[in-house]
Every structure is written in structure tokens, then in C-alpha cells.
Amino acid sequence: MIASSGAQGQAADLFPGASPELSGEASAWLAWLAAEKRCSSHTLDGYGRDLRRFLAFLAARTGRPAAAADFLALKPLDVRSYMAQRRADGLTSRSLSRSLAALRSFARRLERAGRGSAAPFNAVKSPKIAKTLPKPLTADAAVRTTLAASRAGDLREPWVLVRDAAVLALLYGSGLRISEALGVRRADAPTGGVEALTVIGKGRKSRTVPVLPTVRTAIEEYLALCPHHLPADGPLFVGVKGGPLSPRIIQLTVERLRGALGLPESATPHALRHSFATHLLARGGDLRSI
């Protein structure tokens, strides 16, 4: 797509490091992202800044405004050089990854028009982004997510509310993952005087976790209200039609609770599991045991 001369003039103000023609292509690309890809204004602003900086980088190297031909002449080393420069400027791995994604997208658009190549950008690996631990909830907030009373106003059936509360009680009170909690069989339900539960986690490894009295009470209340027959070898927790309960249902439950209880966006089912370990440590728990 070749932008009109008027559009090119306006685009040159947005991309001063590029030729009028390439500036027009850049503006058309942003417009396409907004209209066809429905990118948010935040993403569009970020992508626009990323491309502006790269075009300024090219202009500084060539001594003239960057043109579409400069994209055809790029080598992977040129892209790596730019990324290294941005890293030296203090850019984080996450921001570098977004920048590379933006440049790849623009290069692909030029490639489809026969005016550039995305190969140099595709040849460069995105920086590895360090995984961060989920932010734990406060003890009070974590406990409130496990109470059926916290769902006041929820129009779902009472047994469903109690079921969700029991699942969340296992996540927080025993430090389970969703998959582990939903993988508990009816025959292994920790009720009565049972104080521990063996679950199968990642890598099919088993581990034994504590079951607090409040967790047992929550599970017993669920069993008393559940309208479905639960075979011994079947799942402990079931959906409204009696089939295995989907993890997505628990995720949606926590999303509702975030609004109802005024919890932060960081409140997720996995954050409950992380809160379990954090709160035990704060009370002198042994890290190896946790």
C-alpha cells in the first residue's frame, strides 16, 4: 500500500526518522492494527514508539531518513545490534520482546507488499522473560475466598457455591494446584479425622499435603449438598451436570470474587496456592516441608 502525499506528510511528523513514503506505510500499518487486529490504544502507542526508535536507529546508521529499501538490506546482525543497543539503554526483556514483535509485524506488512523482508527479524530470538512468582494475597483476603458466604448475591445453586468454596479451601489450605484439587477421587476425600491427602502433581510425582479442619469441614458440607452420585473412583468435584469439574469454572469463580471482595488482579487460583506457602513461612513453617 502506498499512502497519498497528504497522508505521507502527516505521517512524517509521527515518524521523523523515515522517508515520507515509509512514514506513510508506518501510519497505514498502525491503522490496520487498529481496524483489523483491534489492538488496544496502549498496544498501538507502544508499537508506534518501538517502530519510531528503530527507524531513528536506521537513519543514524545511513545518515538519511530510513526507506523501505533499507528493510530489504537488513541482516540479522543489524537487528541484534539494535536490540543490544536498547538493552544497554536499560530496556527489560519484556519490553525488548514487545519491540521485536512490533518490528516483525511491520516488516511482514512490507514483505507482503514486496517492499521488505521479515527474515532478519524472524532470525532473532526473543529475549527470555524471567518467570515471576504470583503475588500472594493477605491472609484475610485468602480466607474470604474460601467462604461460601463471600458469594452473597450469586444466583447459582447453593451446592455449587459450597463446591467452589471447598475447592478454593483446598488450594489455599493445602497448597494445591487446580489440577491437583480437581484430580482428587471421591474415595480419597479428606473427611472425618483425615489430616493429610496424597495428590499427584507435575511429572506424575506424588506428595502428601496437610488437610486443616476448616478444609475438611468445607468438603463435608459440599458432599452433604451435592445432588449427584459420586462413584468412589470418580472425581470428588463435579460440574452442574455431574461430569468432571472444569478448571475454568474455578478461574471464573475467582474472577467474580475479585469484584465482589475488592481483590487485586493478582488474585488468581494459583496465587492462593502461593499464599499458602507464604503464610506458612511467615508463621515459622519449614521451607523444605512446604
CATH of the domain at 208: 1.10.443.10
Q: Is residue 78 part of a domain?
A: yes
Query: Terminal CA-to-CA distance of the chain, rounded, Å?
Result: 59
Q: Give the structural domain span for 78.
A: 5-122
pLDDT at position 232:
94
pLDDT at position 160:
92
Task: Give the amino acid at 111.
Answer: E
pLDDT at position 230:
95
pLDDT at position 175:
79
Question: How many domains does one find in the chain?
Answer: 2
- Paired with 158 in beta bridges are none
Q: Is residue 162 part of a domain?
A: yes
Tens of pLDDT, residues 241-274: 999 999 999 888 888 877 777 776 767 777 776 6
Q: Is residue 133 part of a domain?
A: no
Same domain, 170 and 197: yes
Q: Is residue 128 part of a domain?
A: no
Q: Is residue 289 part of a domain?
A: no
13-21 mean pLDDT:
81
Mean pLDDT for all residues in the chain: 81
Same domain, 247 and 161: yes
Tens of pLDDT, residues 88-143: 888 888 888 889 999 999 999 988 888 878 888 889 888 876 665 556 566 666 66
Helix (H) or strand (E) holding 206: strand 206-210
Last residue of a domain, one of 93, 122, 151: 122
pLDDT-based confidence at residue 1 (cuts at 50, 70, 90): very low
Joined grid coordinates for residue 214: 476448616
What ranges make up the beta strands (E) of the chain? 196-200, 206-210
